[in-house]
Structure 1
């Protein structure tokens, strides 16, 4: 357990931040889009993009590789989408002041996949540069 926290500590802290943000009731007057239509989806996408980058960085350090392997990327994708689904289920069932939305889960998945893809491209480019 301690070893997992050593590698995935920043990702775990960011995941807790996401969970808290998604549990807080927002009682703002005006339209539900806050700043513009789709702002909520963009926030979900960015939060999960950062989470996936932190999670992939932990995976690279844990497995002591120079880049992320495809099987690790697939596992990370499943974990991130499952976490997004858990948040949406909690919003539907327990956080009654919030509403779970399939579109939020889609934004979570897109942000997570964008982050994993970005880490794969960046690590491959850095490794190609070193060789």
Structure 2
């Protein structure tokens, strides 16, 4: 029961991870109106993993007891995101015929995950702390 309760705090993160899984393995054709920007896919990879880890940070900081261990939990979240990115690249190589694995995609995932940590520590944590401080008397939950 404790495991289910613990995992339930990360439902938004899991939904983003599942979305990344779908986008990484589906056969998506690019729209005709997309400008031809060199390395646009790297920007997309960076953004997806930055979003994944930012949502993870939100899940950590909205939980009072988890945020006490934020250093080790955030490092664990970053490592899991990097492993997830590596797994997606391996899945693309071995389980699809229309996608290929790319080391630079993996690098973009890793750097994006690190950017998500920075967003979590320097933007999300102060915002949630300010919210909790102003709503402490009302016991208002954060989502």
Q: Same fold (TM over 0.5)?
A: yes
Using the TM superposition, name which of 19-28 and 70-79 deviates more: 19-28
**Once the 2 structures are TM-superposed, how far is the Cα of residue 111 of structure 1 from its aligned partner?**
0.7
Match of 2:81 in 1: 80
In the superposition, the TM-score normalised over structure 1's length comes to: 0.82
Match of 1:37 in 2: 38
Measured in 2, the distance between the counterparts of 1:103 and 1:67 equals 35
Measured in 1, the distance between the counterparts of 2:70 and 2:31 equals 46
Measured in 2, the distance between the counterparts of 1:27 and 1:4 equals 38
| Aligned match for 1:4, one of 3, 6, 29 | 6
Aligned length: 128
Runs of 5+ unmatched residues, structure 2: 134-143
Match of 2:24 in 1: 22
Pair 26,59 (structure 1): closer, same or farther in 2 beyond 3 Å: same
- Displaced runs of 4 or more, over 6 A: none
Measured in 2, the distance between the counterparts of 1:102 and 1:69 equals 29
Runs of 5+ unmatched residues, structure 1: none
Match of 2:54 in 1: 53
CA RMSD of superposed structures (Å): 2.8
Using the TM superposition, name which of 57-66 and 46-55 deviates more: 57-66
Cα offsets for 1:32-64 (capped at 9, x unmatched): x96311100000111111100111222234462
- Helix, strand or coil: the match of 1:69? helix
